[in-house]
């Protein structure tokens, strides 16, 4: 992981549609060595995949809801079962196990409050052992990026 690699990752995580030739020029390599580095970064797991990002608002999915959850169960078996259930819901785009007051946090993407309510009912009927839930509604997504802060 040298400087070349970091530059390559930095460009590709912002725009993966640049042709290899341009990418190579940008980092001052010729195509083949640059290509070999990209392949290596894929093989070594730095690059997890290439995807297209969609516009949630354009698709009528402009509402993000953050759901914070508490449970009494703190054993691994319960967590595994719970995680499996929650992960299956397509509306759940992010899911974290937290320290502090709340045990879990989700980000749920839906079209509107009515759709969120449907999701909420689905969630509480399909999981057990939750002692507390709170939902916080986002009014506006001011920033959303998949680009990680790479050390330069």
Partner DNA sequence: AGTGAAAGAATCACTTA
Partner DNA sequence: TAAGTGATTCTTTCACT
Interface contacts to DNA, rule CB under 7 A: 4, 19-21, 29-33, 35-39
Interacting partner of 113 out of DNA, its own copies, none (Cβ under 5 to 8 A depending on kind): none
Q: What does DSSP say about strands 63-71 and 104-110: parallel, antiparallel, or unpaired?
A: antiparallel
* Residues in the chain, overall count: 152
- Is residue 106 a contact partner of residue 86, using CB atoms and an 8 Å limit? yes
- Is residue 68 a contact partner of residue 105, using CB atoms and an 8 Å limit? yes
Q: How far is the CB of 57 from its own copies (least distance, A)?
A: 9
Interacting partner of 78 out of its own copies, DNA, none (Cβ under 5 to 8 A depending on kind): none
Nearer to DNA, 38 or 109 (CB): 38
- Is residue 92 a contact partner of residue 86, using CB atoms and an 8 Å limit? yes
Q: Is 20 in the site for its own copies (CB under 8 A)?
A: no
Dihedral-angle region of residue 81 (phi above 0 means left; psi in -120 to 50 means alpha; beta otherwise): alpha
Q: How far is the CB of 122 from DNA (least distance, A)?
A: 34
CA atoms within 13 A on the CB side of 81: 12
Of these, 7, 9, 24, 67, which contacts its own copies (CB under 8 A)? 9
Backbone torsions φ then ψ of 83, nearest 5 degrees: -60, -45
Of these, 53, 75, 77, 114, which contacts its own copies (CB under 8 A)? 53
Of these, 31, 35, 40, 46, which contacts its own copies (CB under 8 A)? 46
- 8-state DSSP, 111: S
Contact residues for its own copies, defined by CB under 8 A:
9, 12-17, 44-56, 58-59, 61, 64, 66, 83, 86-87, 90-102, 104-105, 109-110, 136-150
């Amino acid at each position: 992981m040298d400087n070349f690699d970091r530059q390559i990752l930095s460009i590709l995580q912002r725009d993966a549609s640049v042709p290899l030739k341009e990418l190579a020029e940008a980092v001052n390599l010729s195509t083949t060595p640059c290509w070999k580095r990209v392949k290596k970064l894929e093989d070594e797991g730095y690059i997890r995949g290439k995807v297209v990002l969609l516009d949630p608002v354009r698709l009528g999915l402009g509402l993000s809801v953050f759901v914070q959850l508490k449970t009494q169960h703190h054993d691994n078996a319960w967590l595994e079962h719970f995680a499996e259930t929650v992960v299956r819901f397509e509306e759940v785009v992010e899911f974290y196990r937290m320290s502090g007051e709340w045990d879990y946090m989700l980000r749920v993407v839906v079209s509107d409050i009515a759709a969120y309510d449907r999701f909420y009912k689905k969630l509480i009927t399909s999981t057990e052992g939750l002692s507390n839930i709170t939902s916080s509604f986002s009014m506006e997504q001011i920033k959303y990026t998949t680009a990680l802060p790479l050390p330069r």
